[in-house]
């Protein structure tokens, strides 16, 4: 199977149409299974999906160390994207510094390079914008990493439109990584148009609505006790009931094509523009293969319009993050 390619940003690298989000291999969704996770990454490479997306915050570096095992001896086959500065989730910021402080940028990069066991990160991103440090200072420090050969390209995650502009003026940003799916369409108003104007690619994380758009989470009982989604408003029992009504249009189209709801949701996202690269996460080969097959699913204009109408922006019951985390988005 040859994977379709897309260019990430006007001047960025060529990447597979779908990347692989690695967070869930280590934290948040159920129990880790390192052996299966490594097998999943290896299968992804075989299928032409060589874009791995992680962060130093996923298990305070645990996920980067896991990736190091998977890419050993295969560095030249892989595009590595990692991030720093999501201090709330774990990232080990020394006293007196904050997530976007220039000194911390340097330190965080060194630590990531060490854990990943590489000498250069392909796409180095700011995971959350630091509200106390001017973005120019943070990106200025990231730019020095590019000059030193420690990073090839720069990215941002969950940044607001004005911040994206200011960052891009300091050094070209090739990708913005932010949540985008049928049930999270808020980027369509400010962030996506800004990216398109500046020639910045878009990496859509949680493209399956944290698993909800797979149509397998019919009640909160589908989530194990330790699953972080239980803290997310959209997964409260009363919101799950409301949100399940939205899923019917996805299920109907999936059944007409004899594909899965997940593949329909990904095909819709891929149809939104060739500058969009969804990065569904999984730690299992079966789901990886299912997700990547979505790149071949062609939905009709009528079906795409039906999905777009069924999920107008703001229709989803519940905010996309718990209250305290919402404050760190779109700065």
Cβ atoms 67, 41 nearer than 8 A: yes
Give the whole-angstrom CA distance, residue 205 versus residue 22. 11
Handedness of CA 255, 256, 260, 262 (dihedral sign): negative
Task: Give the Cα-Cα-Cα angle 314, 318, 320 (nearest 5 degrees).
Answer: 80
Residue-wise DSSP of 132-161: TS-HHHHHHHHHHHHHTTSEEEEEEES--H
The strand pair at 5-7 and 14-16 is best described as antiparallel
Tell me 23's DSSP state.
G
| 174 CB burial (10 A radius; 0-12, 13-18, 19+) | buried
Determine whether 58 is an active site residue.
Answer: yes
Residue-wise DSSP of 165-208: HHHHHHS-EEEEEEE-BTTB-GGGTTHHHHHHHHT-EEEEESTT
Residue count of the chain: 331
Residue of 58, 104, 124, 180 marked active site: 58
Task: State the chain's maximal CA–CA distance in angstroms.
Answer: 57
Cβ atoms 240, 219 nearer than 8 A: yes
Tell me 9's DSSP state.
S
- Residues paired with residue 157 on neighbouring β-strands, in sequence order: 177
258: left (phi over 0), alpha (psi -120 to 50) or beta: left
Q: What does the block give as tokens for 147? A: 């000059």
Query: What is the Cα 118 distance to its own chain's centre?
Result: 21
Q: Which residues are catalytic?
A: 58
């Amino acid at each position: 199977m040859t994977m379709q390619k897309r260019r990430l940003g006007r001047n960025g690298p060529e990447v597979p149409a779908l990347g692989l989000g690695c967070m869930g291999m280590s934290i948040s969704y159920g129990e880790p299974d390192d052996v299966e996770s490594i097998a999943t990454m290896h299968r992804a490479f075989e299928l032409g999906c060589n874009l791995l997306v992680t962060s130093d915050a996923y298990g305070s570096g645990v996920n980067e160390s896991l990736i190091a095992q998977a890419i050993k001896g295969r560095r030249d086959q892989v595009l590595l994207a990692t991030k720093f500065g999501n201090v709330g989730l774990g990232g080990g910021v020394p006293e007196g510094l904050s997530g976007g402080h220039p000194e911390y940028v340097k330190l965080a990069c060194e630590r990531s390079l060490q854990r990943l066991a590489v000498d250069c990160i392909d796409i180095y991103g700011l995971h959350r914008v630091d509200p106390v440090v001017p973005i120019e200072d943070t990106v200025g420090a990231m730019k020095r990493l590019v000059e030193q050969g420690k990073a090839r390209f720069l990215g941002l995650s969950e940044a607001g439109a004005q911040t994206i502009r200011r960052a891009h003026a300091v050094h070209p940003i090739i990708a913005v990584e932010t949540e985008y799916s049928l049930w999270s369409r808020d980027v369509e108003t400010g962030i996506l148009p800004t990216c398109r104007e500046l020639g910045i690619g878009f990496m859509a994380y949680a493209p399956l609505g944290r698993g909800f758009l797979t149509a397998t989470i019919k009640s909160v009982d589908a989530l194990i006790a330790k699953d972080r989604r239980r803290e997310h408003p959209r997964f409260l029992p009363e919101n799950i009931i409301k949100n399940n009504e939205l899923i019917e249009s996805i299920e109907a189209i999936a059944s007409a094509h004899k594909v899965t709801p997940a593949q329909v949701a990904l095909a819709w996202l891929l149809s939104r523009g060739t500058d969009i690269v969804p990065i569904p996460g999984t730690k299992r080969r079966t789901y990886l293969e299912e997700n990547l097959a979505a790149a071949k699913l062609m939905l009709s204009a009528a079906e795409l319009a039906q999905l777009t109408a069924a999920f107008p922006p703001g229709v989803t019951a519940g905010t996309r993050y718990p209250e305290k985390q919402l404050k760190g988005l779109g700065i």
